[in-house]
Amino acid sequence: MDDTNRQNVSPRPLALSQRLEQIVHDGPDRLTFTELAARLHSRAWGGLLFIFAAINVLPLPPGTSVFFAIPLLIVSAQMIFGRASPWFPGRIDRRGVKRSELQRLIDKMGRVEARVERIFKPRLPGLTGPNATRLIGLACFLLSLVAAIPIPLFHVAPAAAIVLFGLALIYRDGALVVVAAIAAVLSLVLDALIIGSGVVALSYARSWLNL
């Protein structure tokens, strides 16, 4: 390949874990969410969805899922209205994220991302364009509302679907948007089954106690 062709080849973008590694290395001990979004550049929306949702995928103490869903609600709501860049209320923004918290996330996602990032690539651009991003924001907002319901492990499946939407925006992968949409539907079905089984179990318990 000659020098002209080399110049025309676009370099593959850094994996999200590598970009976060740069942010951790160059940034202060604590970043506001606004600063984090600015350092993620064009990956801000997808990166923030991924980071906040990845936290929600983990098992959380009962009742805390509401707190961790708030940033997701804020980000996804702004996506619906097509904001150019994320905004956070002052108190939440100042809470931000610690360098150590980002590093723990990097350590957990690095190995997995190294295996799967080659699968993700820009394709089906219409599914990650501006209008599609608004619809993704709407889907993530609804999933965040479900994730906020204080039922043990209720938040895991919706958060996992949001992780996929975040990755789809990061890599501009329309095919992954389709996968994420399917995962979103399945997560709602799963949570509906959890509620249904809980209602049945409660009804059975009441009947048994009345005997």
Q: pLDDT for 82-96, tens place per residue?
A: 998 899 998 888 888
| Interval 109-132 mean pLDDT | 82
> Within a domain: residue 77?
yes
The CA distance from 26 to 3, in Å, is: 33
| Phi, psi dihedral angles at 154 (to 5 degrees) | -70, -25
Q: With respect to residue 1, please indicate whether it lies within any of the assigned structural domains.
A: no
The answer as to whether 4 is a domain residue is: no
Tell me, yes or no, whether 177 lies in a domain.
yes
Residue 6, domain member (yes or no):
no
Q: What is the pLDDT of residues 134-148, one digit of tens each?
A: 999 999 999 999 988
Tally of structural domains, the chain = 1
Closest CA to 34 of 42, 43, 25, 44: 44
pTM: 0.84
Residues β-bridged to residue 123:
173
Full domain range(s) for residue 41: 11-210
Q: What angle do CA 19, 69, 96 make, to 5 degrees?
A: 45
Residue length, the chain? 211
How does residue 198 score in pLDDT terms, banded at 50, 70 and 90?
A: confident
pLDDT of residue 151: 80
- 149 occurs within a structural domain: yes
62 domain residue, yes or no:
yes
